[in-house]
């Protein structure tokens, strides 16, 4: 289970989270790009959707008139309420995911922006439960914060500034960078080989912009820089600049081989 500190943080920012990271906030180019990639080339009509870490309901509002069933799970009920997710669709994660979705199967399972707050064991537990909620062909879309040297060093520098000369500025806004939450960083290769039952069918490296420039520079400039770099470098090279990756998997349970049959 994620720490109480993480829950407190998201309860605290719930009142304006939709405005800060919504699709209408053009400053949040990373969140918009991640959402765009996660939803593109997918077919949601009459499908069932499980949204783990539903937050302010960005996916809910995109799919509420399309999907047959939508289930939102989050550690912060406040953030789901503020995001406009109806009570009938909300499930609060208190101990673990298994208690909330036991025996249910879904066509799509999202887990965006969650793995950053999970320990290695917690991530393994979540993946096991995701697989239990999957049938053959279920599409699973997960994002990860990468163990990128450039971003790690820069964020460490920004954190120091937020606690020293820029402390008055950062106090005005509750930010993850100065929240004290321990972030989990991932190796891309491990994410690609998350489970023998999950087959990667698409992926996208994201967020090449270092904070706070991603919040200062005009959206149009960020948009064209992002588009130009993706076009010139491509995903194979842009991975060295990206802080995050979103991977799409399909679930296909592997048959266990009984080695005794061979002896």
**pLDDT band, residue 263 (cuts 50/70/90):** very low
**Tokens standing for residue 188:** 């891309």
CB 184 within 8 A of CB 115: yes
- Tell me the pLDDT tens digit for each residue of 175-217: 554 455 677 889 999 999 999 999 999 999 987 666 666 666 7
Query: Which tokens hold the place of 245?
Result: 């990756």
| 89-104 confidence digits (pLDDT tens) | 999 988 777 778 888 9
Predicted confidence band at 222 (pLDDT cuts at 50, 70, 90)? Answer: confident
7 sits in which H/E element: helix 4-13
Burial status of residue 188 (CB atoms within 10 A of its CB: 0-12, 13-18, 19 or more)? middle
Cα angle, residue 183 at apex, residues 178 and 189 outer, rounded to 5°: 145
> Are 116 and 184 in contact, with CB atoms under 8 Å apart?
yes
Q: For residue 28, what are the CA distances in angstroms to 18, 103, 214?
A: 11, 36, 8
Closest CA to 244 of 122, 127, 174, 150: 150
Report CA-CA distances (Å) from 19 to 58, 90, 149, 193, 233.
11, 20, 30, 35, 32
What does DSSP assign to residue 185? -
Helix (H, G, I), strand (E, B) or coil at 233: helix
The confidence score (pLDDT) of residue 261 equals 45
pLDDT value at residue 33: 85
Question: Average pLDDT for residues 72-97, to the nearest whole number?
Answer: 89
- Residues facing 50 on adjacent strands: 71, 109
Residues linked to residue 48 through DSSP beta bridges, in sequence order: 69
């Amino acid at each position: 289970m994620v720490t109480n500190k993480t829950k407190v943080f998201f309860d605290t920012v719930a009142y304006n989270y939709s405005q800060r990271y919504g699709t209408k906030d053009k400053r949040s180019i990373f969140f918009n790009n991640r959402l765009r990639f996660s939803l593109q080339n997918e077919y949601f009509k009459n499908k069932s959707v499980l949204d783990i870490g539903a937050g302010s309901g960005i996916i809910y509002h995109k799919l509420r008139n399309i999907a047959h069933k939508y289930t939102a799970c989050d550690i912060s009920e406040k953030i789901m309420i503020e995001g406009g997710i109806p009570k009938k669709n909300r499930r609060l994660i208190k101990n673990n995911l298994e208690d909330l979705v036991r025996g249910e199967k879904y066509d799509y399972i999202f887990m965006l922006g969650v793995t950053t707050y999970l320990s290695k064991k917690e991530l393994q537990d979540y993946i096991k439960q995701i697989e239990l909620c999957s049938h053959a062909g279920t599409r699973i879309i997960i994002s990860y914060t990468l163990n990128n040297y450039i971003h790690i060093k820069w964020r460490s520098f920004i954190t120091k500034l937020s606690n020293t000369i820029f402390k008055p500025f950062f106090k005005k806004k509750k930010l993850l960078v100065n929240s004290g939450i321990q972030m989990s960083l991932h190796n891309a290769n491990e994410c690609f080989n998350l489970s023998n039952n999950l087959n990667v069918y698409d992926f996208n490296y994201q967020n090449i912009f270092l904070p706070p420039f991603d919040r200062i520079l005009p959206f149009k400039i960020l948009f064209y820089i992002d588009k130009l770099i993706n076009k010139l470098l491509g995903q194979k090279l842009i991975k060295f600049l990206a802080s995050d990756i979103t991977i799409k998997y399909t679930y296909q349970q592997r048959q266990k081989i009984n080695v005794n049959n061979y002896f």
